[in-house]
Amino acid sequence: MAEEKKKPRTPPDPNSAKYKLNQIAQKAYTDVQEAKARGEKVGWISSNFPVEIPETLGLYVCYPENQAAGIAARGGGVRMCEAAESEGYSNDICAYARVSLAYARLGSAPEQDMPLPDYVLCCNNICNCMIKWYENLAKELNIPMIMIDIPFNPDDEVSDAELAYVKGQFLAAIEQLEEITGRKWTEERFREVMANSCRTSRAWLEATAMARYTPSPFNGFDLLNHMAVMVTARGKPEAADAMETLLKEYQANHEKGESTFRAEEKYRIMFEGIACWPWLRVTSTGMKSRGINMVTTIYADAFGFIYDDFDGMIRAYCKVPNAINLEVARDKRIKLCKDNSVEGLLVHVNRSCKLWSGFMSEMSRQIGRECDIPVVSFDGDQADARNFSEAQYDTRVQGLTEIMEARKEAAV
C-alpha cells in the first residue's frame, strides 16, 4: 500500500506471527523451486486437495490458486487473463483458471513465479470447474493428473457410500503418486502429518474465533493473508507453531484491548466470498474508513481440518464449504454470524465462481432473516480486475453502513 511505504520501515520482529507466516508462505515457493532444481518431481495442487497425502509422501507441491491470487493482487491478473483469452479461453471462465492456464503456457510471471509441474493433484470438493482446469493443465503440459472426486453433497451427512467412494480414491491416489515419484507412504509419517495438521487447524480456528470479542482483536483482512499458510502448509510443524503464535497475539490483543484493526470498530460484518484480490486495498479501505471490521468469513474457517483418523480426514474433506447443501452451508454461516455478533452481511457476487454465487441469493436472504441483519451484495471478481466497479462497491458499502447506523440509533 502506497501510504504505508512512506512510513519508516521497522525491522520485522522474527518472533511475530506475521513474520513467521510470511516466511512459511514464501518458503512454500522456494522449497518447490529447490526440489525442482534437484531434479525431484514437483506437483501443482488444488487448495482443498488432502494436503496430508503429498505431505506424508514428502512431495513438493505448489498451489495455482494462491499463485493466481498473488498475481492478481500485484496487478497482473488482467494481463494473464488476456493471455488465456488469446488462446481461446472465454472471459467467462474462472479468472484463477485463466491466470493459471496462461502461466502454464508462458512459464513465468514477474508477480509470482513457480516451477511448472510434473503432475497435478486435483480435488473438486470446491467446484467442478477445478476438474476442467486441471484436465487442461494435464493435457497441455502432457503430465499425469491425480483426481479425487468429492461430489457436492445434497444431503446433510456424509453417507457411507460417499465415504467408501472417496476412501477408494484416496488409496488409489496414494498408489498413483508412489508410482510417479518413487516415494513411499508410511503410517508413522501420516500420523505425524495428521497431528501437525490438526494442531495447525486448532490454533487457526481458535484464532479466528477470537473475533467473538468486541472489539475483535484483529482485522478480518488479516485472515485473507494468513490463509495462504493454512492452504499450503497446515501439515508442517512450523505452520502449527506460527498459528499458535498468532493465537497468542490475538489473545494478548484482547487482554490489552488492542486490535490489528487500525480504526474504531463501529460495525462488525461477515464477508461472503473470495477476496477481490485486484481490488484488495479498495475493498478494505471502503470498510475501514467507515469503521467496519469484517470479523468473520466462511472461507477462512474452510481450511481448518480437525479429525482423528484416516476416515475422519476423508469426512472432513467431504464437508468443505462448497461441497455442502444450502441448509448446511446456511447454518454454518448463521452460527458464525451469531457467535461473532455480526451486524451485517456483505456478499461478493464473484463473477469467477458460479458455484459460490449460484445459490447465494436465496441463502443470504435466509441468513439475513434468521440473524435479523441487512444483506448487501456487490459485483466483483477474485482475479479479473475488469469485473469490479469501485463506485458501485462504495455506494453499496455506504448503503449497508447507513442501515447499520440507523438500526443502532433505533436500538438506543
Partner 1 sequence: MYTLGIDIGSTTTKCVMLRDGAEVLAASLVEAGVGADGTAEAVESVLVQSGLNMAAVAYTVATGYGRKRWTGADGEISELSAHALGCHFLMPEARTVIDIGGQDAKVISLDDSGRMSGFVMNDKCAAGTGRFLDVMAGILKVGVDALGSMAARSESPADISSTCTVFAESEVISQLANGTPVPDVVAGICNSVAARVSALARRQGVKEAVYMSGGVAKNEGVRKALERELGVTVSTSPDAQLAGALGAALNAYRKAST
Partner 2 sequence: MTVQELLNTFHAAASDPAGQFHKYLDAGEKVVLTAPVYTPEEIIHAMGLVPFGAWGGDLALNKSKEYFPAFICAIMQSILELGIAGAYAGASAIVIPSLCDSLKCLGQNWKYAVKDIPFIPMTYPQNRANTVGKAFAKAGYERVITDLEKAAGAVFSEDALARSIAVYNAHNAAMRKADAAIAAHPEITASQRSDVFKSAWFMKKEEHTALVNALLEALEKTDGDAGRGTLPVMTSGILCDSPSLLQIFDELGLRIVADDVAAESRQYRTDAPEAGFAPLDALAEKFSRMDNCSVLYDVDKKRADLIAETAKARGAKGVVLVLTKFCDPEEFDYPIIKKSCAAAGVPLTLIEADRQMVNYEQARTLLEAFRDVL
357: contact with partner 1 by CB under 8 A: no
Q: How many residues bind partner 2 (CB under 8 A)?
A: 50
- Segment interacting with partner 1 (CB under 8 A) among 50-58, 89-97, 205-213, 400-408: 400-408
CA distances from 257 to 67, 112, 233, 251, 339 (A): 35, 37, 31, 10, 19
Binding at 214: pick from partner 2, partner 1, none (beta carbon under 5-8 Å per type): none
Minimum distance between the CB of residue 348 and partner 1, rounded to whole angstroms?
Answer: 12
C-alpha cell at 133: 482446469
Is residue 392 at the binding interface for partner 1, with CB under 8 A as the rule? yes
- Considering only 16-24, 161-169, 279-287, 297-305, which stretch makes contact with partner 2 by CB under 8 A? 161-169
Q: How far is the CB of 145 from partner 2 (least distance, A)?
A: 5
| SS3 label, residue 42 | strand
Touching partner 2, residues 354-373 (CB under 8 A): 354-355, 357-363
Q: Which of 275, 377, 382, 385 binds partner 1 (CB under 8 A)?
A: 377
Contact predicate 204/230, CB 8 Å: yes
Instruction: State yes or no: residue 398 binds partner 1 (CB under 8 A).
Output: yes
Instruction: Compute how many other C-beta atoms are within 10 angstroms of the C-beta atom of residue 49.
Output: 28
Backbone φ, ψ for residue 285 (5° rounding): -65, -40
State yes or no: residue 247 binds partner 2 (CB under 8 A). Answer: no
Backbone torsions φ then ψ of 273, nearest 5 degrees: 110, 175
- With binding defined as CB under 8 A, does residue 169 bind partner 2? yes
Tell me: does residue 326 bind partner 1 (CB under 8 A).
no
Q: How far is the CB of 7 from partner 2 (least distance, A)?
A: 40
DSSP state, residue 11? P
Taking CA atoms, 117 is separated from 72, 139, 174, in Å, by 21, 12, 18
Identity of the residue, 261 or 378, whose beta carbon is nearer to partner 2 in the bound complex: 378
Residue number with CB closer to partner 2 (209 or 355): 355
Q: Which is nearer to partner 1, 247 or 397 (CB)?
A: 397
Q: Which of 324, 349, 360, 383 binds partner 1 (CB under 8 A)?
A: 349
253 binds, among partner 2, partner 1, none (CB under 5 to 8 A by kind): none
CA distances from 289 to 12, 91, 274, 394 (A): 26, 33, 21, 11
**Binding partner of residue 93 among partner 2, partner 1, none, CB cut-off 5 to 8 Å per kind:** partner 2
C-alpha count within 13 angstroms, C-beta hemisphere, residue 2: 3
Partners of 324 in the β-ladder: 153
Q: Grid coordinates in use for 222?
A: 488479516
Which strand (E) or helix (H) includes residue 180?
A: helix 160-181
87 makes contact, choosing from partner 2, partner 1, none, with CB < 5 to 8 Å by partner type, with partner 2
Rounded CA-CA distance 201/247 in Å is 11
Which residue from 128, 214, 289, 392 is in contact with partner 2, where contact means CB under 8 A? 128
Report d(CA 168, CA 25) in Å as an integer: 32
Burial class (CB in 10 A: 0-12, 13-18, 19+), 309: exposed
Residues 97-116, one symbol each (x = binds partner 2 by CB under 8 A, - = not), give x-------------------
Residue type, 141: L
DSSP annotation of 153? B
Name residues whose C-beta falls within 8 Å of residue 287's C-beta, 6 or more positions apart in sequence: 269, 293, 294, 346, 397
Residues at the contact surface with partner 2, assessed by CB under 8 A: 87-90, 92-94, 97, 124, 127-129, 131-133, 135-136, 138-139, 144-145, 147-149, 151-154, 159, 161-162, 164-165, 167-169, 172, 325-326, 349, 351, 354-355, 357-363
Residues at the contact surface with partner 1, assessed by CB under 8 A: 349, 361, 365, 368, 374-377, 379, 387, 389, 391-392, 394-396, 398-399, 402-403, 406-407, 410
